[in-house]
Structure 1
Amino acid sequence: MKLSFNSRDYYIVGTYDSEQDKFLPDAEFTGTGSDLRIDYGKFYASKTFFDSKMNRRIIWAWVNESDSSEDDIQKGWSGLQAIPRQIWLDRTGKQLVQWPVEELNNLRDNQVYVYGKQLESDSVFEVSGITASQADIEIMFELPELEEAEFMDTSLVDPQLICDRQDSSVAGKYGPFGLLALATKDLTERTAVFFRIFRGDNRYVVLMCNEQKRSSLRDNLDKTTYGAFVDIDPRQEMVPLRTLIDHSIIESFGGKGRTCITARVYPKLAINNKAHLFAFNNGTLSVTISSLHAWSMNKARVNCWGGLDNMESC
């Protein structure tokens, strides 16, 4: 069951009793940071439809601006829709999983790839050969020494607050590591999408962040840092990230779609062909890029319908 308020989309997993016409939740909604959200960034008023031809449910949502109403008036428009995502319940039945619809892959062009790249402490690696302002990146991080991770009691913390206080410039042991998107060559502007790994009670904890503190030299922008935990066990699988970049929007999917964060950013310098993309590691322990695949993305093809006798493409 989905709840949409305060410009956020929450959900509760449960069972629908058709005889009593009641929804029986597995857990109560608390109104705190522990509640499940479809996306932990700018993403709300979502709607779904069922695609019977391909037996899938697709979700589409609204993404509002992070600049001023004066900027909206100057542009002549405000807000946009996130890319369509396929959505389903994971095997454990505990949470939703989302992934960009497969048709989006038709826009991919000019692929580059990297395998087995080790990122030492305090290192940055540029992903070159693609259009960094409009790109699709899939990356897998391998962590060889998990027992060295820092301890954290997750019952006492707010993931978004950790991401804000321990941003991409604050070195931990495992993390921050991830991507610097819509960045200038000298990193004056950059939006960081990154992970931190902690040891919890009898398990490991994966934290995913989107930090916009240095996303733009412009003032008067909403540069909120977003954060959420990713329900994966790094002992059994690598830490995967897929990020879609489209000029002023960055949609990221951690843990193969278990945690999603969407952000609006407005770089002043890192625009069009002046934008760069980097993988980075600012933790004291090295991480390995097991694989990285990145593509330039072409513009979407939109069909225009002009009536039965006049169908054209534009």
Structure 2
Amino acid sequence: MKGSVFWTFLLHIILFIHGNKAKASQPYRTSYHFQPPKNWMNDPNGPMYYKGVYHLFYQCNPFAAVTGNISWAHSISYNLIDWMHLDNAINPTEPYDINGCWSGSATILPGVKKPVILYTGDNFEHHQVQNLAVPKNMSDPLLREWVKSGRNPVMTPGNGIDPKMYRDPTTAWQGSDKIWRVIIGSQINGHGTAILYKSKDFVKWTRSKDPLHSSNKTGMWECPDFYPVSSRGKKGVDSSFKGGDTKQVLKASFGDHDYYVIGNYDSKMDHYSADVDFMDSIVQLRYDYGMFYASKSFYDSDKKRRILWGWVTEADSKSDDINKG
């Protein structure tokens, strides 16, 4: 048995044993949905497929079954079913994230094929800022350790932006001009807004004059997502895909649900036009009509598909959560 095959096989065995032990010791754990080993979790963050491994980061409290001390937990899988839980990838340790490492996304930079993370930090003033983290050791196939950029925060709320309504950067995409773009969820003058930023080097970001999109029929947009879908065939496409025959999906989380619209994106003018805008139709498009929120998608380059993760809350009482752990 070749070395790489052996280690993959061994990891599958470890994942199977680990999963069975968790279910035996906690009989009320789900058998289908992903859960951490213990304690609180909510938003999925930065999912990605990288060099044969699926990575899922997520908001968690390492110390209790209720929200607080929010960190980025990290789990990996070879099949999206069996999971191994690793040490936290990002913890609140710096002035710019000391009150929580909140939601964000992963982007795999082309050429160097290096994954990077953008995430929201709740700083010492309880203002929200955007931060950058990169793998500490690129030779580690599991990317277990991440380091924060010395340039953090790389984006801060400017004029007209409420610093407590400025969060959840998307996966970035690259235009034909080789400039990176990312949107941040916000609310301006009471209207849900996707604030657009651009960067040549993924470190220095400049806010665009106009948002990518906004709506006067919704409030604050959390956990936005923006990606192309093919109008021909069923295969997914990468976030930076520039081919024809595509439409662009814009998703926003508000009102306890995940709403989305489909439209056309002019990458030269950075203008997005929805076919039918948020809340403009009797048929208001949602990913799921149950308890499903703060979703995050990623492109699976191995199977040429887009995969969507969402947070499903159990909606139990605080005392029940504590009793269950």
- Measured against the shorter chain, the TM-score band is under 0.3
Question: Which protein has the bigger strand share?
Answer: 1
Higher relative contact order (CA 8 A, sep 6+): 1
TM score, norm. by length of structure 2: 0.24
TM score, norm. by length of structure 1: 0.24
